Amino acid sequence: MSSATPSAEFRITYDAALVEESVLLAERRLSVAEAATFRAERDRIYDVDEPDEREARFEELHGRFFLQLGLDRPLHEVLAERPELLLRTRRCRVLPAVSRQEEMADVRAELDAPAEAAPTIVVRMRPQSLLDGEALRTLLRRELLHVADMLDPAFGYRQELPGLDTDPAALDLLRERYRVVWDATSDGRLCRGGRLGTQARAARLSEFARAFPMLGESAETAFARWFDGPPPTHAAIVAFIQEPRGPGTADEARCPLCRLPTRLLERGPEGLDRDVLRAIERDHPGWRPEQGRCARCVEVYAALLPTRG
């Protein structure tokens, strides 16, 4: 399904299954007469014998009520707030997400497009998220600011984190740190622009402190650098997540598992869950408990263990 856009050259398309499910969830918002009309039309379509024709009619019906219910408005409005995206991309595709963690925006080149063609924004949303306009606007503002950063040459975005150890646990930890810092700087810019409430600061600070426990009491000062500071660069974020306390900090060791700086290495097998120990030894055959591990690595391995009965 296509939706009206803020620019004649820009197109927004919605996945048909996402449109259908969101309309069925939002049906209760219709008046009694509107709901009766919707159900009557839908029931008649089931009588169409030809499968392609039947599917096309369902798509038309659901698309019409999707617009009538205003489920397209939040994305339309947030895109209009970012005219630079309308100039740098060709269209926006809205696809279904299975979980809250999958709800995000990205930018990519279309497979069938020439190399010089403008890229496409891809937004993934759960059907129920389309029903909560205010929460959706907040999420979209943050995600589309990320897209704007990706497309900004000054930001210098790279999909892969350069020069890092390939250990899966270490990469997962660094990606999570990157997300936390990027969200902090995004929310800071949105707050200063009047598009996000001031309560966002406390929420982001709490998340930041959890992601960087090695900072201790200096976490709030480090956080302010990102939340209150100018637009960041990809390279600056990468440098920070690798060495949050600064390069060459004297009182930091490096965890032999994730290779990241840590203020404390826990050594020996004492206090280490036996299943976590086995998982670490499986991924790091040459490692011994006496060499130490950081608390974050232990948390990551514990989280990856299957739930015990």
- Percent of the chain scoring above 70 in pLDDT: 90
- Does residue 6 surpass a pLDDT of 70? no
Q: What is the mean pLDDT of residues 121-138?
A: 97
Give just the sign of the alpha carbon dihedral 106, 17, 73, 6.
Answer: positive
Among 79-93, 110-124, 136-150, 280-294, the range scoring the smallest mean pLDDT is 110-124
Residues recorded for the chain = 309
Residue predicted with more confidence, 16 or 257: 16
Which whole-number Å values give the CA distances from 53 to 37, 43, 264, 304, in the listed order?
A: 20, 14, 65, 47
Q: Give residue 116's pLDDT band: very low, low, confident or very high (50, 70, 90).
A: low
Q: Give residue 250's pLDDT band: very low, low, confident or very high (50, 70, 90).
A: very low
Round the average pLDDT of the chain to a whole number and report it. Answer: 89
Res 262: pLDDT: 75
What is the rounded CA–CA span in Å between residue 201 and residue 184?
A: 8
Which whole-number Å values give the CA distances from 233 to 149, 239, 243, 261, 285, in the listed order?
A: 8, 10, 16, 22, 37
Domain boundaries, the chain: 2-146, 168-242, 253-304
DSSP 214: G
Residue predicted with more confidence, 278 or 306: 278
